[in-house]
């Protein structure tokens, strides 16, 4: 395991105080009841960059995403978003700051229609009138959603459900987006479409933290990588300096 020394810590603090980091974890620990999942994790995501979050099953990738957006409480350390200490904030307050999380698995409301899903996304941030415009814009990205606007989202195919999640962030880009296994279970064609949407977001200046099983595609879009192993950081830095770590990850071995 690579030593997380004092030098990196000061770098993290500097980054957060200068506000150049969109998201910054400083010695964050988290647990599910008695089961600890993160052990003093520190890393930062520079504003406007794309960072790939990699690691084996159970390494804590999803927990990092959930801690960042307040779904899982922090038991130690601090989380900063654009210099604001958001440690202990509830999820809805963090979401209103512009940090959006597309969670693993089904991330649409199955019992609401497509249109209601989109409305729910925009009403709080944009108000009712502007929400209608945002919904129309979302249909512009994925016309297929417009055809199914009255259909319950639970009856959409997996790919269409991802389109629905993406449509909302494409229509009103957040400051930062965390996507958790967005291409899981999708056909290669649709997965490629999802990645091109993420690239479009990046071009609009949205900061991205990408949790992915498709390591190659994640590395193709990202500039930096954070590698987790057993709930701790095993690597943080530019992808060019990762060496054979990516290969080892692909081989199914964990870096430790």
Partner 1 sequence: MSQLLTYVLLGLPYGCIYALIALGLVLTYKSSRVFNLAFGAQAYVSAVVFYVAVRSGHWPIWAAGLVSIVVVGPLLGLLLDRLLFRHIRVAATVVKLGAAIGLLLGIPEITQVIVGTQPQDNPPSLFLPPSWVFKLAGTRVNGTEVSTVLAAAIVVVGLWVLFRFSTLGLEMRAVSESPRMVELVGVNSGEVSSVAWMLSSLLAGLAGVLLAPLFATLDSYNFTLLLIAAIAAAALGGLASFPWTVLGAVAIGVAQEVMTGYLPLNSVLASGLRPALPFVVLILALLFHPGLRSSQDEGDPLASCDPPPLRAVPVKAHREHLIDLSLPSLFTPLVVALAIGSCLTWVPQIWVGVITVGLTYATILLSLTVLTGMGGQISLCQATFAGIGAFAAGQLATHLGLGFIEGLAIGAVLAGVLGLLLALPALRLGGLALALGTLAFALLADNLLFPLSWVGNGQSGVYVPRPQIGPISFAGTRSFFLLVLAVLVICGVAIALLRKGTTGRFLAAMGGSEVAAGAIGINVHWAKMTAFVVSAVIAGIGGAMYGSYQGAVGADNFNTLISLLYLVLVVTFGVKTVAGAVNAGLAYAVLDHLLASAPSRFGGLAALLFGMGAVAFALHPQGLADLFTARWKDQLDRLRHPWHGRETVEVS
Please identify, among the stretches 12-20, 88-96, 143-151, 183-191, the one whose residues bind partner 1 according to the rule CB under 8 A. 88-96
Site string for partner 1, 100-139 (x = CB under 8 A): xx-xxxxx-xxxx---x--xxx-xxx--x-----------
| Closer CB to partner 1, 19 or 105, in the complex | 105
Q: Which is nearer to partner 1, 13 or 116 (CB)?
A: 116
Which member of 227, 231, 245, 255 binds partner 1 (CB under 8 A)? 231
- Minimum CB separation of residue 240 from partner 1 in Å reads 28
Residues 6+ apart with CB under 8 A from 215: 52, 54, 246, 249, 250
Q: Which helix (H) or strand (E) is 99 found in, with range?
A: strand 99-102
Distance CA 7, CA 133 (A): 48
Question: Do residues 141 and 171 lie in contact, with contact meaning Cβ atoms separated by under 8 Å?
Answer: yes
Rounded to the nearest whole angstrom, what is the least distance from the CB of residue 241 to partner 1 in the complex? 25
Q: What token pair was written down for 34?
A: 């008695």
3-11, 98-106, 197-205, 216-224 -> range binding partner 1 (CB under 8 A): 98-106
Q: Give the one residue of 70, 176, 210, 226 binding partner 1; rule: CB under 8 A.
A: 70
Tell me if 230 contacts partner 1 by CB under 8 A.
Answer: yes
Which residue is listed with tokens 């980091």? 21
- For 171, the enclosing helix (H) or strand (E) is helix 158-171
Beta pairing, strands 232-238 & 84-85:
unpaired
Counting residues that bind partner 1 (by CB under 8 A) gives: 43
Give the burial string for 233-251 (b: 16+ CB within 10 Å, else e).
Answer: bbbbeebeebeebbeebee
Interacting positions 142-201 with partner 1 (CB under 8 A)? 154
**β-pairing verdict for 35-46 and 207-211:** unpaired
Q: How far is the CB of 45 from partner 1 (least distance, A)?
A: 18
Q: How far apart are CA 219 and CA 125, in angstroms?
A: 32
**39 to 68, contacts with partner 1 by CB under 8 A?**
39, 58-60, 66
Contact residue for partner 1 among 31, 40, 49, 84 (CB under 8 A): 31
Please say which residue, 83 or 103, places its beta carbon nearer to partner 1.
103
Would you tell me how many other CB atoms lie within 10 Å of the CB of residue 177? 23
Residues that bind partner 1 (CB under 8 A): 31-37, 39, 58-60, 66, 69-72, 90-92, 95-96, 100-101, 103-107, 109-112, 116, 119-121, 123-125, 128, 154, 230-231
């Amino acid at each position: 395991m690579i030593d997380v020394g004092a030098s990196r810590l000061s770098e993290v603090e500097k980054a957060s105080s200068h506000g150049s980091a969109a998201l910054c974890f400083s010695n964050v620990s988290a647990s599910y009841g008695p089961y600890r999942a993160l052990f003093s994790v520190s890393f930062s995501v520079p504003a406007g960059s794309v960072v790939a979050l990699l690691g084996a099953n159970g390494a804590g990738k999803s927990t990092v995403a959930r801690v960042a957006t307040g779904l899982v409480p922090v038991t130690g350390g601090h989380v900063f978003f654009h210099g604001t200490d958001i440690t202990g904030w509830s999820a809805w307050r963090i979401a209103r700051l512009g940090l959006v999380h597309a969670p693993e698995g089904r991330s649409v409301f199955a019992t609401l229609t497509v249109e209601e899903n989109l409305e729910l996304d925009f009403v709080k941030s944009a108000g009712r009138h502007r929400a209608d415009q945002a919904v129309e814009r979302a249909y512009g990205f994925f016309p297929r959603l417009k055809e199914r606007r009255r259909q319950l989202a639970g009856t959409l195919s997996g790919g269409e459900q991802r389109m629905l999640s993406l449509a909302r962030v494409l229509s009103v880009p957040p400051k930062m987006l965390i996507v958790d296994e967005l291409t899981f279970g999708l056909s290669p064609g649709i997965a490629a479409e999802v990645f091109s949407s993420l690239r479009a977001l990046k071009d609009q200046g949205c900061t991205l933290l990408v949790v992915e099983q498709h390591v190659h595609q994640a590395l193709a879009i990202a500039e930096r990588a954070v590698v987790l192993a057993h709930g701790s950081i095993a690597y943080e830095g530019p992808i060019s300096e990762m060496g054979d770590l990516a290969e080892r990850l692909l081989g199914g071995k964990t870096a430790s």
